[in-house]
Structure 1
Amino acid sequence: MNPQQLERYNRHIILPQIGEEGQQKLLEAKVLVVGAGGLGSPVLQYLVPAGVGNIGIADSDIVSLSNLQRQIIYREDQIGQPKAEKAKETLSGLNSDVKIETFPVVVDEGNAEGIISKFDIVVGATDNFRSRKCIDTTTRRQGKPFVHASIGEFEGQLSVFNYRGGPSYSDLFPETPDERNLHLGVMGVLPGILGSMQACEVIKIILGKGDVLSGKLLVYDALQASVNVLEI
């Protein structure tokens, strides 16, 4: 690493569990974030400063006023503009070490294989159930971890699927619910908490450190300030 990188990542490098070797792993890693909304915003805003060197952003949506209550990567003057490009615009100013590629599409059966093949890890930050199932199937087939989170009202769930032969999303959720009946409200801070947890799991996977949340489902209740970890 050059002198500027040694200074930028100093607080990582002085950790014995990371050091220069671990930071180099982060710089070489390739992570796809599917969904640049409430969950994707904190995931991206932590992975990019951490020096995860290759980031993909997949999102076909545009910024709307109702997004701004929780999607902290966007501003009022970006309403009506494509999320993936506006997220890249913000993130590019955070860390010039990081290469960012955008995919302004819904990840589905027609494109998942090609997009996911470019990356090592996939973060599922989408509320589209069809995309979740497609990510799960494709990452399982390609042998790549799928860091999943979901949120609704005051509760969030987090797990890592398809990690070293571990359980998949479909093992836990075999049925696809009717999305027309699932328009829930959400406390604005909740995706910030779960998205930060997703970013943490990604970094642990890249470094090969700690206990990855594979084979477990973490359930966070914001009103009760409680965390329960269930075995899958």
Structure 2
Amino acid sequence: MKIALFVTCLADALYPQVGQATVTLLERLGHEVVFPAAQTCCGQMHVNTGYQREALPLVRHHVETFEDFDVVVAPSGSCVGSVRHQHAMVARRAGDQALAERAEAVATRTYELSELLIDVLGVEDVGAYYAHRVTYHPTCHSLRMLRVDDKPLRLLRHVRGMTLLELPEADQCCGFGGTFAMKNPDTSTAMLADKMKNVITTGAEVATAGDSSCLMHIGGGLSRLRTGTRTVHLAEILAGTESVA
């Protein structure tokens, strides 16, 4: 299958290894991954902060960049959530019904990584090896907006060499929420403290999730406390093999 990678701004700027791991994983499973070089920000940050008019050109550009592909994948529940739930809305509110319909078509073919693997490719065991104690944080957008449910956990349970540890109060937000963390720092910090406490109680070496933004927030807090627990994206774990782990 030919799959277009929507790498996201955060991966492009700060976590390129997440995009690279996504490609490694999908190619190992026998698929062709292409990277549309014209891609830019999907506009989620603009929409979430009330700048819908400014987001419209980004929505249009995203549609133009990805509408010729049958399948699009992003290693981010947050960005996939924006494509599915915001793009058509932004276009429709701007009075561009044609763009809204095109955005809806792209949205139906855009998947978060665990969705793609299980719902489209029909695979749970991706042949991964990762010899660490790991706990999984389900991010808000993937859990509540995309409703990926237990798909990431189903994938993690098949990873060889790994001990998967249950995270207490896993469904509670980590407190990042994009600009929420900047506009409400005290509340965000309190939520992060609760999340870190629960991660630490598991005894995990690694906390994983499907969104680099949440992992950045949690990982920053764990690093400042010098807990020894690090954060690793789900794609990086699933791309691991015994020869490189």
> TM over 0.5, yes or no?
no
After TM superposition, the score normalised by the length of structure 2 is: 0.33
Could you tell me the TM-score, scaled by structure 1's length? Answer: 0.35
Flag the structure with larger Rg: 2
Question: Which of the two has greater strand per residue?
Answer: 1
